[in-house]
Amino acid sequence: MESREALEKAAREGDAESQYQLAQLLETSGDTAAAGERWSDWCKRAADQGHLGAMFALGTSLLDGDGIDTDVEGGLSWLERASEAGDEHAAYSLALLHWFGDRVPEDEEKGRRYARLAAERDHGRAQVMVAADRLDDGSPEAVDEAQRWLARAADKEPQNEAERELWTSTFERLGQSLRELGRDAAEVDGWLERLRSAAISDAGPPSVPLDAGLEAFVREIVRTEDVFFLEDPEGGRATGTAEERGHELMLVWSAASGAQAILDAAGEALADYKIETEHLFEFLGATLPELDEAGLHVVANCTSDLSGVDVDPELLRRRIFSLMSSDQREKFDALASETAEA
């Protein structure tokens, strides 16, 4: 893992992801980077550069007065900026605030708009929230829409038992509404069975969004379940060195075309290298833990001009887990158990 000194150096040089990671480190430890510098100072520097995770973290902390003076107006502003930049978590938080009048005047219609926005961005809790609201309407058209939203939420996993109970209640209401309309509810019964039997994940601290470029990388590899590397004839994978940050980097891509662009740009220097594919589960279960132990960071979708954002392997691993479907997690857990028994 990157040393504190190297992380702080990169942060002071203006790297947004390093600033955000330093903010997380300082918040967890309660330490300061220098006299008078708090975790929130570094979080704001990253947020000012458009880092989604930093904008979301700063917004919620200002609202809650968590390690920083409470500023509801400022917190709302940062959540709105994060939502405008595409963050589903910020949109969902804004939905809750406005819908229920939490620290802001109650405005159900505004809450609905944010909830729908988060749901469209595939936020599971927002999808259940929108579905429950449509079921309150009760019309056949509203029940149809609720079923579409819950179909999208059905492959996701609630975060805790209380949330499971809420989801279960909403799915049960859908089944009842379908039967009252004389429709088949067998599909909903299947969703309920899976929801009731699913193990609630305990993957450690909740994940938050990363840099926008890293977010795109994570979402793509979760969708395709493929990660691409460059390997030399001996099987060694292409790496780089960030001397100013004190660590080496592993280069990975979410599409073969990205790796090919590096080969084309490098010419003879990488003439013997070839593109190799690794399944998402192997990347999660073997490669990222090995990189973390070796102190290497990951550079995702490095471009032909050798630019890219590097990230700590464990942070990347947590973010990937948070975006995987419940089916993917079950398959990963089953594979991990088989490997451990072998």
Element of type H or E holding 177: helix 161-180
Sign (positive or negative) of CA dihedral 23, 25, 30, 32:
negative
The two structure tokens encoding residue 1: 């893992």
* Of 197, 225, 249, the domain-final residue: 197
**Are 265 and 312 contained in the same domain?**
yes
The answer as to whether 86 is a domain residue is yes
Is 101 part of any domain?
no
- Taken in order 94, 95, 101, 105, is the CA torsion positive or negative? positive
Do 14 and 37 share a structural domain?
yes
User: pTM for the complete prediction?
Assistant: 0.62
Amino acid identity at 62? L
Domain that holds residue 227: 212-341
Residue in this structure with the two tokens 């001397």, named with its chain if needed: 243
Lowest mean pLDDT among 22-36, 135-149, 212-226, 314-328: 22-36
Comparing 105 with 241, which gets the higher pLDDT?
105
Each residue of 217-262: pLDDT tens digit?
A: 888 898 899 999 998 888 888 776 544 444 467 889 988 888 888 8
Structural domain includes residue 331:
yes
Same domain flag for 331 and 223 = yes
Q: Which residue has the tokens 């929130």?
A: 40
Q: Is residue 104 part of a domain?
A: no
Integer Cα distance of 90 and 63 in angstroms: 12
Whether residue 228 is found in the same domain as residue 304: yes
Same domain for 238 and 302, yes or no, is yes
* Residue type for position 137: D
More confident residue, 109 or 64: 109
Domain boundary residue, one of 140, 167, 197 = 197
3-state secondary structure of 291: helix
Three-state DSSP class for 224? Answer: helix
List of E strands, the chain: 226-231, 239-242, 247-252, 274-279, 297-300, 310-311
Lowest mean pLDDT, pick from 136-145, 241-250, 258-267: 241-250
Phi, psi of 239 (to 5 degrees): -130, 170
CATH number for the domain that contains residue 15 = 1.25.40.10
* Beta-sheet pairing, 226-231 with 274-279: antiparallel
| Maximal C-alpha separation, the chain | 69
Same domain assignment for residues 221 and 183? no
Domain count, the chain: 3
Q: Is residue 253 part of a domain?
A: yes
Nearest to 312 by CA among 260, 247, 267, 258: 247
Q: CA of 273: how far to CAs of 240, 252, 258, 268, 295, in Å?
A: 15, 14, 14, 10, 24
In a domain, 292, yes or no: yes
Q: 137 and 180 in one domain? A: yes
Secondary structure letter of residue 156 according to DSSP: S
Domain end among 133, 166, 197: 197
Same domain, 156 and 243: no
Identify whether residues 330 and 216 lie together within a single domain.
yes
Q: Are 133 and 182 members of one domain?
A: yes
Tokens 């973390």 correspond to 292
CATH of the domain at 248: 3.40.1350.90
